Structure 1
């Protein structure tokens, strides 16, 4: 009986306790905070990636014929113009081959001329009945054969002349000589690398970028290459379509906005800089609530938590809130969603 009486007493006291607790909770004091319009808080963070200037063409100039290297003309570190002679291979054998092919052409021309004259004479004899039609057909065949022989010999002459031209190697474009491998007196064969040239003028900037930053780079209004205290405007050329492992980056190529001539020599290192075009909120106004990272905004006299997709602790986060939003910039660390504020 005593236990039953105690239980009844507790049940009777419970509603009174609830009635006392509810007003206390409803009367929780408003949290003192500070707010600012979102337009005064947003930033456009600067991004940077390591980059280097590379030539558009870096060619290994190789021998195309077999022979003894007679002379080379430029040393490593020099600059050459398009068409400038780099190497001469002994041309004696190639000149003899040209002379031989020319003689064969001359002989073919003489034989063709003789065959054509004989054919014309035989036509007159056929008309007079002194020459048969079969014999005339044979004359026509001889002329056709001589013409074929002349065409073959002319092709052989063109080949010999081309081989002679290949004995002299010329720069395919204006370039800087990166390496000279040619040595006077050595025997070279087709494929032997004699020079390494880097094209001057139309250089490009190469860099590796995280896939998450590609969209911002594409939309950036201004991109610059910074090296040795100098900045040069850039324009985006292309973004590689594959992500390299294990760095998980994509290659981007950019060119100098100044025009065809590069203001920075190939091989220079620096960094590519640009500002994110999308507004971001600084890391100090972000808070974590549960599994989400976001910010508190003012809605009347209460604070509301707004999660920001993709936000990371310690980094500015992209935001797309309305321009009139007032953002809690002080006191947000202790706030809960729906808390009264003042």
Structure 2
């Protein structure tokens, strides 16, 4: 019994010693520092800031307008004998478009020409009689009244001849009007009448519409706030004028380059915009009346301007900035000043120097001091998106 009592405290002391030993070993393990984990570089695409001539431009939505538009009408009544043009054909001033039956007008012309010949004979007879009366009046065999009457007869016949000639001239004009010619160079539209129809000068639709497309004009609008600078640049350009480029409506294709002609004489109070007109040679006929285009007015050219892709520019509470990759491959947040964003390029006036590498894609995974791994655009697009470790949502990983 005594041995059992002595054995229990001995076991208790042994258990306590083992627990203390284990606890000491656990504390020793807990005090060993965990090895540091180096974060993996963030995959980004980069571009290099370049220096060169950068045009300062203003973009506006424009609509193409024919330089001249003419609705061809008949000036005499008659039946159409022939249509001498093809729809959509390029015609030149003086080209025959429509032939109207001229026989009625030709007959009237000949009739009046005959009346002129008759009246010429009457005049010749009156002048002969006057020449007979004058010697007789000097010798007293004819009265002064007879001479005066004969002189009035000659004057009357002379006036009749003038009236006959005027009527013949009018008849000739009407005959000429039966040949309807193109009044300008341009493109003929759809036929509005067909052969065999009788046309009148009072017809509302006319015969055909011709639009002059070489040269051609573009009317476009810009905010009224740009008007003072535009006027200043126009005055400085003088006779040379400011260049205007016309692009397709989606901005993907350049159609032509022309010159700013003028600005409208008032601002549209409803929209707060000013309308401008530019003229284009349109040698390739890529501009067509009624077409919507993008018009780019070139105000000036910034020489040695620093340009980067537009995707480089980021915006924060303090303004615009860009992520610059230093030679060690570390991302640096660099404040910048942007003068213009146009056509996928940004003109930077301060903050960047030519030759610096800037991040164009992958900025959402960056913070100052982050190491980056330069990749192609395809590699970045195929990489797994960054996720927030706590919310498992797309975003910046803390």
- The two structures have a TM-score, normalised by structure 1, of 0.65
Q: Is the 8 A contact 1:202 1:262 kept in 2?
A: no
1:302 maps to none
SS at match of 1:57: strand
284, 296, 310: which one aligns with 1:273? 296
What is the CA-CA distance between 1:231 and the residue it aligns to?
A: 5.3
The reply on whether 1:190 has 2:211 as its aligned counterpart is no
1:157 is matched with which residue?
168
**Computing the radius of gyration over CA atoms, which structure comes out larger, 1 or 2?**
2
Corresponding residue SS for 1:118: helix
Q: 2:255·2:286 contact (CA, 8 Å) conserved in 1?
A: no
Q: Distance in 1 between matches of 2:125 and 2:70?
A: 51
Query: 1:143 maps to what in 2?
Result: 154
**How many residue pairs get matched?**
254
Measure, in 1, the Cα distance between the counterparts of 2:136 and 2:314.
111
Q: Does 1:226 align with 2:247?
A: yes
Task: Kindly state the Cα deviation for residue 97 of structure 1 after the two structures are TM-superposed.
Answer: 1.1
Alpha-carbon RMSD? 3.5
- Is residue 2:199 matched to residue 1:199? no
Counterpart of 1:211 in structure 2 is 224
Where do 1:170-181 residues align within 5 Å? 170-181=181-192
Q: Distance in 1 between matches of 2:98 and 2:124?
A: 42
Alpha-carbon deviation of 1:81? 1.4
- Change in 2 beyond 3 A, CA 1:92/1:201: same
Match of 1:168 in 2: 179
Give ranges in structure 2 of 5+ residues lacking alignment: 1-50, 235-241, 303-309, 320-337, 341-349, 352-398
Structure 2 match to 1:57: 68
Please state how far the C-alpha of 1:128 moved relative to its aligned partner: 2.7
Asked if 1:264 is matched to 2:275, the reply is no
What corresponds to 2:139 in structure 1? 128
For residues 90-115 of structure 1, the C-alpha deviation after alignment (integer angstroms, 9 at most, x for no partner) is 11110111011111111111111110
User: 1:209 deviation in Å?
Assistant: 2.2
Whole-angstrom distance in 1 between the partners of 2:156 and 2:255 = 71
Gap runs ≥5 in structure 1: 1-39, 294-314, 318-325, 328-342
Instruction: Decide whether the 8 Å contact of 1:108 with 1:149 is kept in 2.
Output: yes
Residue 222 of structure 1 deviates from its aligned partner by 4.1
TM-score by length of 2: 0.56
1:252 — aligned with what?
276
Any conservation in 2 of the 1:174–1:199 contact (CA below 8 Å)?
Answer: yes
Query: C-alpha offsets along residues 263-283 of structure 1, whole Å, 9 cap, x if unaligned?
Result: 53433442111355599xx99
Cα 1:275–1:284, aligned 2, differ >3 Å: closer, same or farther? farther
SS in 2 for 1:116: helix
- How far apart, in 1, do the equivalents of 2:192 and 2:149 lie? 59
What is residue 23 of structure 1 aligned with on the other side? Answer: none
